[in-house]
Amino acid sequence: MPRRDDAPALLFFAFRALTAEPDRVLSERGLGRVHHRILYFIARSPGVRVGGLLATLGVSKQALNRPLQQLVRQGLVEARVPPENRRAKELRLTLEGARLERRLTGSQRRRFRRAFGSAGAAAAAGWRDVMRRLAAPSARAAR
């Protein structure tokens, strides 16, 4: 029978293992997990506007500004002003940014592939279902 508090502990230890390699690579550039999240979501939505990224990440403009500017300064992200809306910025990864994002997320994909492969398809589907439920707005509101 599982202990009552083992789910949060397992999540903590799994997250620590999942982020160890990306954290090491990021630290070599003076970056952290927030930078990885920004790169990850821009890679999946090239041309996303700052407002869309804010909504996806669920952070304030102030919280996004500094790490996003670091990524721009390091040549990992481009921020373009579209001609139809001079107040907006569209974000894209540069080639170097795309390479870094693939490296960071690739190590995580490999861990997931190994874990899902050994646990089996039903367990992987169950895990995804639990994660979706934990991430749902009603779950966040029920704290």
Written as six digits, the tokens of 129 are 């279902």
pLDDT tens digits, one per residue of 10-53: 999 999 999 999 999 999 999 999 999 999 999 999 999 999 99
Question: Which residues are within 8 A (CB) of 68 and not within 5 positions of it... i.e. 6 or more apart?
Answer: 38, 50, 53, 77, 79, 91
Tell whether 19 is covered by a domain: no
The total number of structural domains that make up the chain:
1
Tell whether 5 is covered by a domain: no
pLDDT tens digits, one per residue of 70-122: 999 999 999 998 888 888 899 999 999 999 999 999 999 999 999 999 999 99
CATH of the domain at 61: 1.10.10.10
Tell whether 4 is covered by a domain: no
Handedness of CA 108, 40, 68, 136 (dihedral sign): negative
Written as six digits, the tokens of 20 are 């160890």
Full domain range(s) for residue 37: 24-141
Tell whether 8 is covered by a domain: no
Rg of the chain over Cα atoms, rounded to whole angstroms, equals: 17
Tell whether 62 is covered by a domain: yes
Tell whether 114 is covered by a domain: yes
What one-character DSSP code corresponds to residue 78? E
